[in-house]
């Protein structure tokens, strides 16, 4: 049994892909840039919104000054529309209930900006998450383990008793960099092949299977 669990946010707890893609496509349309498919956004996301903006921008529109403007455009639109299509994945609420009943302490580590992450979690999971670490100035984002270590210290978690749960290679790499077991989930944005290729210790097909992995 794992006594502590750290979740990724986008693609793990919440399906945010449509709203992220809609914001990106709004920026592309406003600037006359080529459009992208929802499938492409599965691979654009995962490293934070600044990197997402870089990935959907044309190669000749990636100067620091231009990317700052793109980020501002994206953020303004996304802030107004971030709850249009976003929803918890089926089974997540029941999973959190089971973990709470078993006394498991859980938190969230995300590359979303910290204030945005806190707001989204409180909107969709009010009162559920006491421990949240989003992107903060001066703290490297995942897969660097700096934020993970800060979050674990706040939780009182030790590596041997902690499971990191996420849907992408970035998440499994973060777990490895922090000396944790990593569990890849198959309901998110990436593939089982990617998660296994990165060295996931566990694979969960659905939240019920994840509960078994954590509580067994």
Domain regions of the chain by residue span: 4-15+87-215, 17-81
Q: pLDDT per residue over 89-107, tens digit each?
A: 999 999 999 999 999 999 9
Question: pLDDT-based confidence at 167, cuts 50/70/90?
Answer: very high
| pLDDT range class, residue 23, cuts 50, 70, 90 | very high
Please tell me the distance from the alpha carbon of residue 47 to that of residue 50, in angstroms, as a whole number.
8
CA dihedral 7, 10, 12, 15 (to 10 degrees): 150
Q: Mean per-residue pLDDT for 4-31?
A: 99
Which DSSP helix (H) or strand (E) runs through 42?
A: helix 38-44
Q: Could you report the per-residue pLDDT of 37-80, keeping only the tens digit for each? A: 999 999 999 999 999 999 999 999 999 999 999 999 999 999 99
> Does residue 158 have an active-site annotation?
no
Mean pLDDT of 164-179: 99
- DSSP calls for 159-197: GGGEEEEESSHHHHHHHHHTT-EEEEETTSSS-HHHHHH
Name the one residue in this structure whose structure tokens are 């994206």. Answer: 74
Q: What is the CA radius of gyration of the chain?
A: 17
Instruction: Kindly report the average pLDDT of the chain as a whole number.
Output: 98
Q: Report the pLDDT value the prediction gives residue 116, as an integer from 0 to 100.
A: 94
pLDDT at 191: 98
Task: Express as a percent the part of the chain with pLDDT over 90.
Answer: 100
pLDDT of residue 175: 99
Q: CATH assignment of 4-15+87-215? A: 3.40.50.1000
Predicted TM-score (pTM) of this structure: 0.95
**Mean pLDDT over residues 174-182, rounded?**
99
Neighbours of 84 (CB within 10 A): 11
Residue in this structure with the two tokens 């700052």, named with its chain if needed: 68
Average pLDDT over residues 103-120: 97
Surface-to-core class of residue 37, CB atoms within 10 Å of its CB (0-12 exposed, 13-18 middle, 19+ buried): exposed
> End-to-end alpha-carbon separation of the chain, Å?
5
Please tell me the distance from the alpha carbon of residue 6 to that of residue 172, in angstroms, as a whole number.
Answer: 12
H or E, element range at 135: strand 131-135
In whole angstroms, give the CA distance from residue 127 to residue 86. 19
Catalytic residue among 8, 10, 167, 171: 8
Residue 146 is encoded by which pair of tokens? 């700096």
Give the pLDDT score at 90.
99
Q: What is the pLDDT of residue 208?
A: 98
In angstroms, how far is CA 83 from the centroid of its own chain? Answer: 16
How would residue 200 be classed by pLDDT, with cut points 50, 70 and 90?
very high
For position 125, what pLDDT does the model report? Answer: 98
């Amino acid at each position: 049994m794992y006594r502590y669990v750290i979740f990724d946010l986008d693609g793990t707890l919440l399906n945010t892909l449509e709203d992220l893609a809609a914001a990106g496509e709004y920026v592309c349309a406003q600037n006359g840039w080529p459009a992208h498919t929802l499938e492409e956004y599965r691979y654009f996301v995962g490293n934070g919104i600044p990197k997402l903006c870089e990935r959907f921008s044309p190669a000749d529109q990636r100067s620091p000054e231009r990317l700052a403007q793109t980020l501002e455009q994206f953020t303004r639109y996304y802030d107004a529309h971030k709850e249009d299509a976003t929803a918890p994945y089926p089974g997540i609420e029941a999973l959190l209930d089971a973990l709470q009943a078993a006394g498991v302490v859980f938190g969230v580590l995300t590359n979303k900006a910290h204030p945005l992450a806190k707001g989204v979690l409180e909107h969709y999971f009010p009162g559920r998450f006491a421990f949240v670490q989003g992107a903060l100035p001066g703290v490297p984002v995942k897969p660097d383990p700096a934020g993970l270590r800060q979050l674990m210290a706040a939780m009182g978690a030790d590596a041997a008793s902690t499971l990191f749960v996420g849907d992408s290679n970035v998440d499994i790499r973060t777990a490895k960099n922090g000396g944790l077991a990593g569990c890849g989930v198959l309901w998110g944005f990436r593939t089982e092949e990617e998660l296994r290729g990165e060295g996931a210790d566990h694979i969960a097909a659905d939240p019920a299977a994840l509960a078994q992995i954590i509580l067994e």
